[in-house]
Amino acid sequence: MMHIILYELGYTESTLATAISNDQRTGSHEFYINLITKHLIAKNTNRDDRKLFSEEIVNLKRLRTKADYNDEIIGESQGRYSLTKATDIYKILRKVI
């Protein structure tokens, strides 16, 4: 995703940092996801692909929050699920961008 944001959308590290810091709330990941979402809509990307991206990336984000911040064990099945989701998202982005 960062590759797309930097090289496809033309952001730089500093413009990204400025844009995110202008918003008082935390959420760089959310910001990046929204940039991609906007881009997919603007490019009139196939709706099914867009829906899949937005749903799966958020589900992946939830798992990441659970793994990093919650006192919960992430088992093998959820680990595999995450890998599958990440692969799905990668495939969608490769296909549409």
Partner 1 sequence: MNSQEYLKDQLECLVESFPSIRIRYESDTSNNCHFIDVVPLEIYKHNVNYQQAEDEITLDFITRYPTENIVFISEGGETVLTKVDYEIFGNMFHVNRITAISEDVVQHYILNYSNQLSTVGIFKAFEPVYYNLGSTLLVGTLPVIHPFLTGINYYASSFQYMMNHEDIGILPVTPCLPVESIKDDEQTVLAA
Residues near partner 1, by CB under 8 A:
19-20, 23, 25-28, 30-31, 33-34, 37-38, 41, 47, 51, 54-56, 58-59, 61-62, 65, 69
Give the Cα separation of 46 and 6 in Å (integer): 23
In this structure, what token pair is assigned to residue 25? 């709330």
Whichever of 55 and 79 has its CB closer to partner 1, that residue is 55
Whichever of 38 and 80 has its CB closer to partner 1, that residue is 38
Residue (of 36, 44, 47, 46) closest to 9 by Cα position = 36
Whichever of 14 and 26 has its CB closer to partner 1, that residue is 26
